[in-house]
A and B are shown apart, each in its own frame.
Chain A
């Protein structure tokens, strides 16, 4: 398809092509994920850092807020709770616990909750916290018990339960061994019911020592090697955010497959989507009277008899020229089947054979599934080490799901990387790069252009150096999605206007101009002759386009009826342009839902062959 815009889906179109395989969210799970923030509200948490650095409490609230909003965007069905301990006031379901303040019980986060967390931020927030909750005694045991009740009060089935403790006090009970013991007991009760307890320990003067108390509170890592306890406490918002983020999302495999090296050598692997294009969610329909959501039911029935059509009474067809080709529904699926799902090793190639431009889909991530085939992790690890050491990738044939045709993929080794705080920022495993087939590469006619001279290149190098920055993939928010949620937030909270969003992918033109100074002119003098204006041509064009688009409509394109019929008969409708076809559809009163050329052609063909 040579149409450029074919790629750009209209925002409201949710049609995913049949093979659009990167949904990434197709998990077979039952139940919801849940997360409880258990935050220390003692006086120590409110102490501001030097130079007006935010307090630990303030930092925590910012993180909680960002988790709330990201849950709203990416997984609104997850349940989140916010509980404070070490408070003066108490507020919990049966008010049976002192010094525990349930600010939000376990529920889906919404606009109101975001606002309420916002209210706890900054100076004002500290004041509000002091007024409503205050700081009092601490009993972590009671707090954990209270959280356990939150979990058990939930009627829904929970699949993943996590509890995060935010504190800067390593000895919350100041050596009261009875309270320590109670807390340990309650923690182990919680852990027994499947709750994972994490510690997000924050900076305090003199350092945070995990050993005496919290070591027994937190969950043992899933795996003995996992970096369960971060030895260094967090003192930066960014770090805290990263740590929370890393734990907050439950990772789930999109698929579990075998990586087959040869006859009988199957390594079990899981495929994970680490980057999935976030889209604006689809609209839901509401009943006008009550604003309650309505469900849609789609029914297929016979035009003449009006009776419902069962799957067996339906077939699939395509028409080429005058020929209709009909298949059973399962035949349509079976055509796509080549092999059973799995990865099959073809061989290895040096990394330089993986071309930058061989890109057709976002990559996915591969990690062994020791639980499926014992020994997988060891062989996987050996492959990973050797591929990385020898700088090669593994070429595999990949069938990711039932009835999917094969694709070839490059398994690119990725060694684990951790930062100074021992937090993993690159996980160990293979990145799976999808490779294009011959059909996916297009032939271009590159224009013959003179190359720049070294002086010109050097001048550009100066420009490039002036505008250097350190790219981080998480630095850019999607302005379209952010705006959408700001709008919803404003409507949900009856705000006058949505909060401003900064478009982070807008070039900072003034800054760029300022940094470049005279360099831009100097470069232009070197490459452009006097009087050359790179913008002239398209500016003129744009003007006419606006005039043509708004003021006058293009003359209608009509084709005489007999000519159309001849096209239909010869199967040459494709020669006509889309506007002409649309006009023809109107002419014959053919209603088409689609705007794709093929749909127009099909509609016209059926219409005109009927009446011949």
Chain B
């Protein structure tokens, strides 16, 4: 039963008004047409890259021509089915970019809706779609034909089609403090004022339709796009039609006598891009041309290769290395009974500190849909915890293969639902008890009263949540959880660009994407003066550091045991002395520190000159054959050593080696 849920398929019709009124805008503002197109583009882009099996159609209205199956007897005019229901692809993206323009007609949005419904009904025949949805983007400036309103609503209900409206103005007045007032930018006038009669009537109609479909939350599906900044937030409105996470049925147990059936859903987790990059050959672009191979070698001077079959698995136990075969490991490893959500005990909420949350997710636990009794039992637990300000500490195991966790189940009592929220907590092994010098008890550091009041005014000026004077209603003007991940947006933009224009450089970041990540303008203005004050009151002086040596080793990160590149580069007389040399007798250029061995041997003159050089060259070639930055860095130090010596010693005799080396080197970079 749960399996099937993950295969939910959706069919969506994007229905966009391209009529002439959509091109109207106040000076300095972008016309609704452009904003609507952007919303659609970004949405289709996401769909293309999400590669799910959802199908999508595009219907335009207000077009100069008419192309739809209902076009008969002068009805349903100026409505064009631009794209029939199918999986969105790059072609659709290109079509939207190049073929969707503002046109000069107007069409009845209600007619357009009927065309969309008809399209959904005929084109989903024989296919199994779980969700049907129409998204209308329009300014509602035509008068709608209301003749068949009831039939239309009835049809929508029966076919299970859900509706969303995207309007260039808010559907409700701000004064009403309506459903979603926080989504709007601050300081913009309410609606109703600048609207035409047609728009006002249409808006009432929209509300009527939406409330008929869903009495409670219908109006939540009417969205506003007015500014660039809104556009990025529009994308998450499509979330309502996204697939639902998988259910995890289990039992919450308190001892062995009391259990409650529950179903868990992953509610919050860091979403990642699904697709990985594969390595291809730069010439052919074929991944088959590239082969990666891992070889194993002994840690001796010759780096003797050994076959994988001749190796066994082991683990480190401090300084010991313990051979431990996979079979033994599986047999001896910690095993448990599998799926579990067992209460260990209850504790005060304030003992579970927010910064100790571990893991990368929050799981919400509900009662199963069809089990009222479980619902009541769970509700009793949730409410008991909520009233006592406590949490359950639980053992949680997803299944038999996964490691058990310890975590906290928080009560969550909302107006329309109740649940437990599970968060993983740390194990003793995860914690690092650091102590830091006290800040407040340090007289040198403690801020003065004037300094503190400067910080006070800064906080005043930068509050992102504003209290309205009259009531407790707070407006949050920067909701992070309403911002779609900008990294995805940028990723798709670049992929899209490269797919359509191969061979051209990647485009710059879109300005609206950058803007969405900035401090809101109101705040920037307000905090100007307090920031100046902070600057005056708190002197900040960058500490002059010795110029940081930006060696490539530093950039690439280097192993702790590697010879310091800086050292090798410096005056070698200081860096190694005879004591060093005497420490271990160097007889050949080894692989651990070839540069040093080389220098030592040259100094000791224990081997013929040419031979030492040859040994070094050999080592360098060996190092370079490893595709690994560490080895590159090592070889750089070798070459440096080589050069130093060549300056001092007979230049002529070294030049041939030098040339050979440089050839290897050039070949590499």
A371 interface residue, CB < 8 Å from B?
A: yes
Return chain B residues, CB-CB under 8 Å to A56: none
Return chain A residues, CB-CB under 8 Å to B289: 302-304
Taking a contact as CB atoms closer than 8 A, the residue among B280, B356, B494 that contacts A314 in the complex is B280
Check A467–B254 contact: CB distance below 8 A: yes
Name the distance in Å between A403's Cβ and chain B's nearest Cβ.
11
Alpha-carbon distance A353/B476, docked complex (angstroms): 9
Check B281–A314 contact: CB distance below 8 A: yes
Check A359–B362 contact: CB distance below 8 A: yes
Return chain A residues, CB-CB under 8 Å to B405: 505
Name the distance in Å between B648's Cβ and chain A's nearest Cβ.
28
Return chain B residues, CB-CB under 8 Å to A508: 344
Return chain A residues, CB-CB under 8 Å to B346: 464-465, 467-469
Check A299–B293 contact: CB distance below 8 A: yes
Alpha-carbon distance A483/B429, docked complex (angstroms): 13
Return chain A residues, CB-CB under 8 Å to B312: 285-286, 288, 291
Check A326–B531 contact: CB distance below 8 A: no
Query: Which of A7-15, A38-46, A89-97, A136-144 touches B?
Result: A7-15
Return chain B residues, CB-CB under 8 Å to A264: 535
Residue in B closest to A376 when the chains form the complex, CB atoms: B540
A433 interface residue, CB < 8 Å from B?
A: yes
List B108-129 residues whose CB lies under 8 Å from chain A: none
Name the distance in Å between A62's Cβ and chain B's nearest Cβ.
16
B274 interface residue, CB < 8 Å from A?
A: yes
Check B291–A302 contact: CB distance below 8 A: yes
Return chain B residues, CB-CB under 8 Å to A300: 279, 290-293, 627
A73 interface residue, CB < 8 Å from B?
A: yes
B236 interface residue, CB < 8 Å from A?
A: yes
Taking a contact as CB atoms closer than 8 A, the residue among B236, B393, B421, B459 that contacts A386 in the complex is B459
Q: When A347-B464, A363-B354 are in contact, do A473 and B404 touch as well, CB less than 8 Å?
A: no
List B491-541 residues whose CB lies under 8 Å from chain A: 491, 494-495, 498-499, 502, 506, 509, 514, 517, 519-520, 523, 527, 531, 534-535, 538-541
Taking a contact as CB atoms closer than 8 A, the residue among A301, A317, A532 that contacts B280 in the complex is A317
Name the distance in Å between B657's Cβ and chain A's nearest Cβ.
22
What is the number of residues of chain B that contact chain A, defined by CB distance less than 8 Å?
226
Taking a contact as CB atoms closer than 8 A, the residue among B254, B355, B412 that contacts A512 in the complex is B254
Alpha-carbon distance A348/B312, docked complex (angstroms): 55
Alpha-carbon distance A10/B342, docked complex (angstroms): 23
Check A357–B362 contact: CB distance below 8 A: yes
Alpha-carbon distance A572/B89, docked complex (angstroms): 11
Check B398–A8 contact: CB distance below 8 A: yes
Return chain B residues, CB-CB under 8 Å to A334: 506
Name the distance in Å between A435's Cβ and chain B's nearest Cβ.
4
List A407-453 residues whose CB lies under 8 Å from chain B: 408, 412, 414-416, 424, 427-429, 431, 433, 435-452
Q: When A224-B442, A335-B491, A358-B268 are in contact, do A467 and B343 touch as well, CB less than 8 Å?
A: yes
Name the distance in Å between B272's Cβ and chain A's nearest Cβ.
6
A405 interface residue, CB < 8 Å from B?
A: yes
The listed residue with most B CB atoms (<10 A of its CB), out of A245, A320, A481, is: A320
A262 interface residue, CB < 8 Å from B?
A: yes
A527 interface residue, CB < 8 Å from B?
A: yes
Check A5–B398 contact: CB distance below 8 A: yes
Name the distance in Å between A558's Cβ and chain B's nearest Cβ.
19
A197 interface residue, CB < 8 Å from B?
A: no
Chain B, residues 12-41, CB within 8 Å of chain A (1/0): the string is 000000000000000000000000000000
Alpha-carbon distance A575/B373, docked complex (angstroms): 37
Check A275–B506 contact: CB distance below 8 A: no
Q: When A225-B441, A327-B498 are in contact, do A449 and B258 touch as well, CB less than 8 Å?
A: no
Taking a contact as CB atoms closer than 8 A, the residue among B52, B437, B527 that contacts A221 in the complex is B437
Q: When A446-B416, A450-B375, A509-B255 are in contact, do A572 and B483 touch as well, CB less than 8 Å?
A: no
B301 interface residue, CB < 8 Å from A?
A: no
Q: When A108-B318, A313-B281, A473-B426 are in contact, do A441 and B357 touch as well, CB less than 8 Å?
A: no
Q: When A295-B296, A347-B519 are in contact, do A263 and B531 touch as well, CB less than 8 Å?
A: yes
A111 interface residue, CB < 8 Å from B?
A: yes
List B422-447 residues whose CB lies under 8 Å from chain A: 423, 425-447
Query: Which of B171-179, B237-245, B606-614, B633-641 touches A?
Result: B237-245
Alpha-carbon distance A10/B402, docked complex (angstroms): 7
Check B459–A390 contact: CB distance below 8 A: yes
Check A111–B560 contact: CB distance below 8 A: no
Check A293–B299 contact: CB distance below 8 A: yes
B619 interface residue, CB < 8 Å from A?
A: no
Alpha-carbon distance A37/B321, docked complex (angstroms): 25
Query: Which of B72-80, B150-158, B222-230, B364-372 touches A?
Result: B364-372
Check B478–A362 contact: CB distance below 8 A: no
Q: When A265-B531, A459-B380, A535-B251 are in contact, do A317 and B306 touch as well, CB less than 8 Å?
A: no
Query: Which of B161-169, B202-210, B449-457 touches A?
Result: B449-457
Return chain B residues, CB-CB under 8 Å to A470: 347-348, 351
A491 interface residue, CB < 8 Å from B?
A: yes
Name the distance in Å between A46's Cβ and chain B's nearest Cβ.
28
Taking a contact as CB atoms closer than 8 A, the residue among B318, B436, B476 that contacts A110 in the complex is B318
Check A375–B319 contact: CB distance below 8 A: no
List B318-341 residues whose CB lies under 8 Å from chain A: 318-324, 329, 332-334, 336
Return chain A residues, CB-CB under 8 Å to B278: 316-318, 602
Range, interface on chain A: 35 or more
B213 interface residue, CB < 8 Å from A?
A: no
Chain A, residues 249-278, CB within 8 Å of chain B (1/0): the string is 101000000000111111100001111111
Check B445–A438 contact: CB distance below 8 A: no
Return chain A residues, CB-CB under 8 Å to B478: 346-347, 395
Check A297–B321 contact: CB distance below 8 A: no
Name the distance in Å between B608's Cβ and chain A's nearest Cβ.
30
Return chain A residues, CB-CB under 8 Å to B459: 348, 386-387, 390, 392
A128 interface residue, CB < 8 Å from B?
A: no
Check B375–A447 contact: CB distance below 8 A: yes
Name the distance in Å between B594's Cβ and chain A's nearest Cβ.
16
A127 interface residue, CB < 8 Å from B?
A: no
Q: When A251-B434, A360-B268, A408-B480 are in contact, do A267 and B354 touch as well, CB less than 8 Å?
A: no
Alpha-carbon distance A230/B280, docked complex (angstroms): 61
Alpha-carbon distance A373/B233, docked complex (angstroms): 37
A383 interface residue, CB < 8 Å from B?
A: yes
B595 interface residue, CB < 8 Å from A?
A: no
Chain B, residues 281-293, CB within 8 Å of chain A (1/0): the string is 1110101111111
B403 interface residue, CB < 8 Å from A?
A: yes
Name the distance in Å between B338's Cβ and chain A's nearest Cβ.
9
Taking a contact as CB atoms closer than 8 A, the residue among A277, A303, A437 that contacts B480 in the complex is A437
Alpha-carbon distance A332/B251, docked complex (angstroms): 45
A173 interface residue, CB < 8 Å from B?
A: no
Taking a contact as CB atoms closer than 8 A, the residue among B291, B333, B398, B438 that contacts A484 in the complex is B333
Return chain B residues, CB-CB under 8 Å to A249: 432-434
Check B320–A111 contact: CB distance below 8 A: yes
Return chain A residues, CB-CB under 8 Å to B625: 299, 308
Check B244–A444 contact: CB distance below 8 A: yes
Given contacts A320-B499, A446-B419, A449-B378, 9 further A-B contacts (CB under 8 A): A295-B303, A326-B498, A377-B445, A382-B447, A431-B355, A437-B483, A456-B376, A463-B384, A501-B334
What are some 6 contacts across the A-B interface (CB < 8 A)?
A28-B557, A246-B434, A320-B90, A428-B438, A435-B480, A488-B324
Which 10 A-B residue pairs are closest in the complex by CB-CB distance? A449-B375, A405-B487, A446-B417, A512-B255, A452-B380, A431-B355, A438-B236, A108-B319, A110-B319, A225-B442
